[in-house]
Chain A
């Protein structure tokens, strides 16, 4: 069957069997949407990294050997009031018991259950630092004196000014976010009289990603409402708006359901829904909206001319089948290019959106024309009879552009040039802290943990070797000392700290012996001694069961991404140069994950942008039978991408794993505008329209749907009101992207086509 026969068959289904076509499309949509039950939400940022990446492999090994290393921190107290008072100790005791009763919690560490290792008159004692719930003043003073003796230990549980206590909660691996929420609720319920700060990766992952999703859902609802209003005021027909919305809604649920199906069938973790994927529904909304808007506006135009619904639908579909097919194929290709992204979840993202786009195409071919055929249109209604205000504005705009093509083109090129310069200032920032606005609770908490406690970032070092051998221990100590030289580092911990403390205690609490013993035998004796008097499990998060590997963790305050890269690189250099043991020391932790994420984001953006532009040029060149058309199709969107990144650089909007997706929206939507323009241009050339009015007529024909499409999508500027910075940026960039791609098509593409018209009319 030839291409035009397929086209006629598809069109005839809607014209001759509209009800059957509607029922079939609804049934298949429902089948696709039923995959929603397999839908899985992933909150762990670490799982964004490719499984074979070193930092992720080390992280998995550490988790396996030493248990969960991602802690939840709860700090409470009152500013400038010492925590060393009986009421706070009693409250901390009660809270510790309440938290320990939560089954998902493996360990609660704070001042209450901290071990005291002390030597007195040749007597070694391992006991609880706090012996009972109710203490007198002398007992509290003793606790304070012990902590003052070990400042490094103290920093983990008490703030620098003694006014807040810190609780470190270790949950079992992969605890769901509702358990994290229960932990937080328990804490907040018990602590009415205090200022409470909560932090830590599981908290940020579990609680904040939920907040972000809720925020996005709320704002998208507002965006949808604004979009509906814009569509209504432009199309002036309630049923027409409903028809566009039905295509949007059905393609979105089919897309989300198919993500569940693919996950269920393939079992691939690339198809989980993560923070990155929150933008997926918005993207499909914009793309599905585009198809609907073009069909409806063209239909009204044809209906106005012929007065016959069947004929208008047939003519509309005749002229739009190819451009809609091409826009969908090229946009899908742009998103499918994400399968080359090193960020695994972007593969799932790209494939799922492509499925959604193709389903929107099917619905635009079947459901939408069937609905148009079934509806009895009132030919006297304003929607059919009169052109809208927006159409008239576009008409005047088109005249202006095409009367001065060189001036318009050079202005556009100047803007693109400014964008190119701006790209140099573009910075990548993936640090969670930068996601939240100044003054928000979470950002203030993070700042508090940075200022008063051990900080919000960490770096973990896994050492392979004999953990009883002084030489190995000396290397750990050397690295610890080096790390602690940096002002951003608050503290570090490893088995050497425990060994040094035990050594001092065994040697009658002589501070001169707070060192690593000089023989393996002595180190071993210390471990055996501890095993007889304390719980050897106390070291399970520092050394493995066979003492053949150890974990050193460095805690630090927030850093910018550029500092992170510099710090991680210099640490690697130090390990290679000074410890000469790069094969025995592997590094991970939030800091390294951030560094790797930065590299991946830059790589994935560059890969997906270049592949998608080349693919689109090739596809458009193939279908329009000339590579020049292919090149022209990518002109406006390349300009828009440059402008997007350039203006992000100029206005200080950071690139991160959420805003990086924006380039795909720009390409995906931008290419639609260009293809509609080119299709109409070629159609009019075929119809032998005079070269003098060619561009003018193309703008007349596609200018309005392009601007209406862009305008209605701009409703997602509502995201500008999000409480989360990346989502805000996304809203702003979306507005900017819609303006740059639509105006880019009607200026740069239109003027270039006008200037090259004598070449282009040779089909």
Chain B
């Protein structure tokens, strides 16, 4: 999951670029070969009630292959999720249901559906195809003393997006995303996202995401810990049989 977001917003620094050129740099920027972390996700609804999930995630191939083991809440301990993205067919998603002792394949064809009840939809978590969007560069701005490029990103029809527009603030120094606002089909502000990054090896790796659905007054805070990159995760890990047991490391 972390890799998805990382892919969207980490960019190289080039002065005098057009919106498209900045986005292209983001797209072409090198990303870790593999990534593992512990993820804590806190969902808070409009009445201030919260739900917390914790999971262990391992991914490779630019996050196209990802396996997640749930460790919290207690009810969900043992549940595991495997996703393998394909370019030419629907993604494969499998889930281990320990109480039924069954693996079930699942599908969500709706890009706007939320991931685990969070404010991040599958579309938010997936990489944006460079040529499926139009990019307009707006006036640069400072966000919390960070000098940023500001891009207006408009999805083209082929993107089949649930949004009509995004405004992204991208740090000039380090070229990581600082914040983003996404607008729904009616052109109304739907989500506000803010990101915190840390530098690991030669990558800017995401440390925290805060997303607020301003219409539903619901928010999600995702914190990543024990982050490791390029550890040489075995490709064989991304198999159904590995869903049933939580790795020791």
Contacts and interface: CB of A to CB of B under 8 A. Distances in A.
Interface of A: 64, 101, 122-128, 468, 506, 517, 519-522, 524-525, 528-529, 531-537, 545-546
A521 B98 contact: yes
Contact of B108 (A524, A525, A533, A537): A533
Interface stretch (B9-17, B29-37, B110-118, B138-146): B110-118
Contacts of A125: 106-107, 109
A127 B49 contact: no
A520 B70 CA distance: 17
Nearest to A468: B75
B162 to A, nearest CB: 12
A529 B104 contact: yes
Interface string B63-95: 000000010000110010100000000000101
Contacts of B107: 123-127, 533
Contact of B97 (A123, A525, A536, A546): A525
Contacts of A532: 81, 93, 95, 106, 108, 115-116
A122 B51 contact: no
Contacts of B100: 506, 522, 525
Nearest to A522: B99
Contacts of B49: 545-546
Contacts of A127: 107-110
B45 A124 contact: no
Contacts of B115: 532
Contact of A519 (B81, B99, B106, B116): B99
A528 B97 CA distance: 9
Contacts of A536: 114, 116-117
B113 A521 contact: no
Given A525-B98, A537-B216, 8 more contacts: A64-B47, A122-B105, A124-B104, A128-B109, A506-B97, A528-B76, A533-B107, A537-B114
Given A528-B70, A536-B114, A506 B76 contact: no
A545 B45 contact: yes
B199 interface: no
Interface in B34-57: 45, 47, 49, 51
Contacts of B116: 531-532, 536
B241 interface: no
A127 B107 CA distance: 8
B106 A535 contact: no
Contact of B95 (A520, A529, A546): A529
Given A468-B75, A546-B49, A524 B99 contact: yes
24 contacts: A64-B47, A122-B105, A123-B104, A125-B107, A126-B107, A126-B108, A506-B100, A521-B75, A521-B99, A522-B97, A528-B75, A528-B95, A531-B116, A531-B117, A532-B81, A532-B95, A533-B107, A533-B108, A534-B108, A535-B117, A537-B114, A537-B117, A545-B45, A546-B49
Contacts of A524: 75-76, 99
A126 B110 CA distance: 9
B216 to A, nearest CB: 8
Contacts of B103: 122
| Residue with the highest number of chain B CB atoms closer than 10 Å, among A64, A468, A520, A531 | A531
Contacts of A128: 109-110
B102 interface: yes
B158 to A, nearest CB: 16
Contact of B51 (A124, A517, A519, A545): A545
A182 to B, nearest CB: 16
A347 B110 CA distance: 53
Given A529-B95, A531-B117, A124 B47 contact: no
A531 B73 CA distance: 14
A378 B97 CA distance: 100
B186 interface: yes
A132 B245 CA distance: 40
Contacts of B93: 532-533
B27 to A, nearest CB: 28
Contacts of A124: 104-107
Nearest to B108: A533
Interface in B202-249: 216
B47 A545 contact: yes
A538 to B, nearest CB: 10
A126 B103 CA distance: 16
Contacts of B51: 545-546
Contacts of B105: 122-124
B184 to A, nearest CB: 11
Instruction: Pick the 3 closest A-B CB pairs, nearest first.
Output: A521-B99, A536-B117, A533-B106
Contacts of A101: 186
| Residue with the highest number of chain B CB atoms closer than 10 Å, among A122, A521, A534 | A521
Contacts of A122: 103-105
Nearest to B117: A536
A525 B73 CA distance: 12
A606 B186 CA distance: 55
Contact of A534 (B79, B95, B113): B113
Contacts of B95: 528-529, 532
Nearest to A119: B104
| Residue with the highest number of chain A CB atoms closer than 10 Å, among B49, B95, B113 | B113
A525 B114 CA distance: 18
A506 B104 contact: yes
A380 to B, nearest CB: 76
A715 to B, nearest CB: 53
Contacts of A533: 93, 106-108, 113
A506 B102 contact: yes
A126 B109 CA distance: 8
Contacts of B45: 545
Nearest to A122: B105
| Residue with the highest number of chain B CB atoms closer than 10 Å, among A517, A519, A528 | A528
Contacts of A529: 95, 97, 104, 106
A125 B93 CA distance: 11
A124 B110 CA distance: 14
Nearest to B109: A127
A101 B185 CA distance: 9
A535 B113 contact: yes
A126 B106 CA distance: 8
A269 B105 CA distance: 55
B126 to A, nearest CB: 15
Contact of A528 (B79, B110, B216): B79
B52 to A, nearest CB: 11
Contacts of A468: 75
A536 B216 CA distance: 13
B73 to A, nearest CB: 9
A204 to B, nearest CB: 28
A608 B208 CA distance: 65
B46 to A, nearest CB: 9
A525 B98 CA distance: 8
Nearest to B76: A528
A519 B113 CA distance: 28
Contacts of A126: 106-108, 110, 113
A533 to B, nearest CB: 4
A127 B97 CA distance: 21
A47 to B, nearest CB: 22
A26 B214 CA distance: 52
Contacts of A517: 99
A88 B78 CA distance: 46
A124 B93 CA distance: 10
B108 to A, nearest CB: 5
A753 B93 CA distance: 94
Contacts of A521: 75, 98-99
B5 to A, nearest CB: 19
Contacts of B109: 125, 127-128
A529 B76 CA distance: 10
A434 B65 CA distance: 63
A191 to B, nearest CB: 23
A128 B112 CA distance: 12
B122 to A, nearest CB: 10
A537 B45 CA distance: 11
